[in-house]
């Protein structure tokens, strides 16, 4: 028996001993959709500049093509998240975007409004003290719902970039009131079958206050808005040392976890490749989600990447990110929860942690490989599949200008 078959056999036996059905794990793997961010396939950079890649996506059409190529090697991510700032069409009509995506086997997922790129946003957008800016932002929100509708999207991903830089600059309570008023315009504009996810961030681009600075503010606003508003958790949007999986457990228990922007960080909103710096955190986040699902809680969550590939090739960075997310998810599925429940009831601290860490340390690649073969992918390794497919060379020869310099995700 070849090595992979042997490893698959041993792993399946181990899972059965843990009261886990390998077939259900593979099905869960196949069902995990991570939306591919349109803004991460093009050139992106930092405020210190951008290292441009030959053939980088320049337009929404290029981005759909790149995401379709990513889907070719992954097989489980036929959805592109869109950002209205960068995915513009010449005529402002978006049904063609939906049709083009469909022709490539893709759908448009979450649509993200723009509250940060524009001279008018100096003092904020919906929290700005300038009434005309707030009214312009309100109109933008209503148009974003139109764009989402035309793209066939059901989710608006709202990051409010507003804040202040100095004590005394503005009334913090009035900003909170403006925030709710503006978000309510967006919420009331949503179609029946749409919902919104509200992203929080402690700092940047403003550094004294951010108007939606943490999960508590996001949840407060979502609670005031209603059932169609939930919290979006961007992994890079937490101060050092914050226990993100605990936040996830709270939002799940409250039925208010709407989605993720996955990435990884060393210091702040670094937007690095998911799972490369803190793979255990990713696993423990999924542990909370799988626990909640097994307890019958709502885990209808939108998973997205939000990364900025500055030195690595963007398309490979996205593929690699999804592979890391998939692995963390599968590992969270192979925790022996029967044994864990018993060790917890016995307050056996060491054994409880060992059971969880045994899952984290389980090599699940043989089962993932089997699932990828069942998806009829050409290769069990998506990066190798991508490199063998020659896409990078193709787009470098066809896209002769090196793309619009878009800000990172």
What does the binding site for Mn ion look like in residue numbers (CB under 5 A)? Answer: 234, 261, 269, 306
Least separation in angstroms between CB 86 and ligand AFD: 9
Residue closest to ligand AFD when measured from CB atoms: 159
Burial of 131 (0-12, 13-18, 19+ CB in 10 A): exposed
The residue count for binding ligand AFD (CB under 6 A) is 11
| Residue 188, token pair as written in the block | 């009331």
Q: Which of 287, 304, 163 is nearest to 234 (CA)?
A: 304
CB of 15 to Mn ion, least distance (A): 34
Residue 316, C-beta contacts closer than 8 angstroms, at least 6 positions apart? 383, 386, 387
Q: How far is the CB of 280 from ligand AFD (least distance, A)?
A: 22
- Cα 33–Cα 25–Cα 196 angle in degrees, nearest 5: 30
**What is the smallest separation between the CB atom of 376 and Mn ion, expressed in angstroms?**
33
- 347-356 contacts, C-beta under 8 A, 24 or more apart: 356/287
E strand map for 263-316: 302-305
Question: Using CB under 6 A as the criterion, what x/- string covers residues 180-219 for binding ligand AFD?
Answer: -------------------x-x------------------
Distance of CA 251 to the CA centre of its chain: 16
Contact positions with ligand AFD (CB under 6 A) in 232-291: 234, 261, 269, 271
Q: Using CB under 6 A, which of 162, 306, 365, 370 touches ligand AFD?
A: 306
Nearest CB to ligand AFD, comparing residues 271 and 288: 271
CB nearer ligand AFD, residue 235 or residue 328: 235
Residue 83 contact among ligand AFD, Mn ion, none, beta carbon within 5 to 8 Å by kind: ligand AFD
> Which residue spans within 144-295 are E strands per DSSP?
155-159, 163-164, 195-199, 209-210, 229-234, 257-262
Smaller CB separation from ligand AFD, 140 or 287: 140
**Nearest distance, CB of residue 159 and ligand AFD, angstroms:** 4
98: helix, strand or coil: helix
Closer to Mn ion at the Cβ: 40 or 334? 40
Q: Which of 324/406 has CB closer to ligand AFD?
A: 406
Task: Give the count of beta carbons closer than 10 Å to the beta carbon of residue 105.
Answer: 12
Residues 6+ apart with CB under 8 A from 93: 150
Of 234 and 288, which has the nearer Cβ to Mn ion? 234
User: What is the Cα–Cα distance from 311 to 322, expressed in whole angstroms?
Assistant: 18
* Collapsed DSSP state (helix, strand, coil) of residue 327: helix
Residue with Cβ nearer ligand AFD (78 or 408): 408
Here the tokens at position 22 are 């390998």
Smallest gap from residue 80 Cβ to ligand AFD (A): 14
| Residue 162 lies near ligand AFD (rule: CB under 6 A) | no
Count CA atoms within 13 Å of residue 71 on its CB side.
23
- Tell me which residues touch ligand AFD (CB under 6 A): 83, 112, 159, 199, 201, 234, 261, 269, 271, 306, 409
């Amino acid at each position: 028996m070849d090595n992979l078959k042997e490893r698959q056999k041993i792993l399946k036996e181990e899972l059965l001993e843990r009261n886990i059905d390998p077939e259900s794990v593979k099905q869960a793997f196949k069902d995990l959709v991570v939306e591919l961010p349109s803004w991460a396939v093009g050139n992106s950079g930092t405020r210190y500049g951008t290292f441009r890649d030959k053939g980088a996506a320049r337009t929404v059409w290029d981005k759909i093509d790149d995401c379709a190529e990513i889907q070719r090697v992954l097989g489980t991510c036929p959805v592109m998240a869109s950002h209205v700032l960068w995915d513009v069409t010449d005529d402002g009509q978006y049904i063609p975007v939906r049709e083009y995506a469909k022709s490539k086997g893709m759908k448009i997922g979450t649509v993200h409004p723009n509250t940060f790129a524009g001279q008018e946003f100096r003092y904020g957008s919906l929290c700005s003290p300038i009434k005309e800016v707030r009214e312009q932002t309100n109109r933008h929100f209503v148009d974003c719902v139109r764009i989402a509708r035309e793209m066939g999207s059901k989710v608006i991903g709202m990051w409010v970039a507003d804040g202040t830089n100095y004590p005394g600059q503005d009334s913090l309570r009035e900003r909170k009131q403006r925030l709710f008023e503006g978000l309510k315009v967006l919420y009331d504009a949503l179609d029946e079958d749409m919902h919104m996810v509200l992203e929080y961030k402690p700092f940047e681009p403003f550094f004294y206050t951010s108007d939606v600075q943490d999960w508590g503010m996001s949840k407060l606003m979502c609670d005031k808005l209603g059932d169609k508003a939930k919290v979006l958790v961007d992994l890079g949007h937490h101060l050092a040392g914050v226990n993100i999986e605990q936040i996830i457990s709270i939002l799940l228990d409250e039925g208010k976890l709407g989605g993720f922007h996955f990435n990884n960080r060393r210091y702040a909103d670094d937007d690095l490749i998911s799972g490369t710096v803190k793979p255990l955190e990713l696993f423990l986040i999924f542990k909370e989600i799988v626990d909640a699902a097994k307890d019958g809680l709502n885990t209808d969550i939108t998973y997205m990447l939000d990364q900025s590939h500055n030195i690595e090739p963007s398309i490979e960075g996205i593929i690699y990110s999804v592979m890391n997310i998939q692995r963390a998810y599968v590992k969270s599925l192979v925790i022996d929860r029967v044994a864990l429940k018993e060790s917890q009831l016995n307050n056996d601290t060491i054994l409880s942690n060992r059971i969880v860490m045994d899952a984290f340390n389980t090599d699940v690649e043989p089962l993932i490989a089997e699932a990828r073969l069942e998806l009829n992918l050409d290769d069990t390794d998506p990066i190798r599949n991508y490199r063998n497919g020659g896409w990078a060379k193709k787009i470098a020869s066809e896209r002769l200008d090196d793309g619009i310099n878009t800000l990172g995700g």
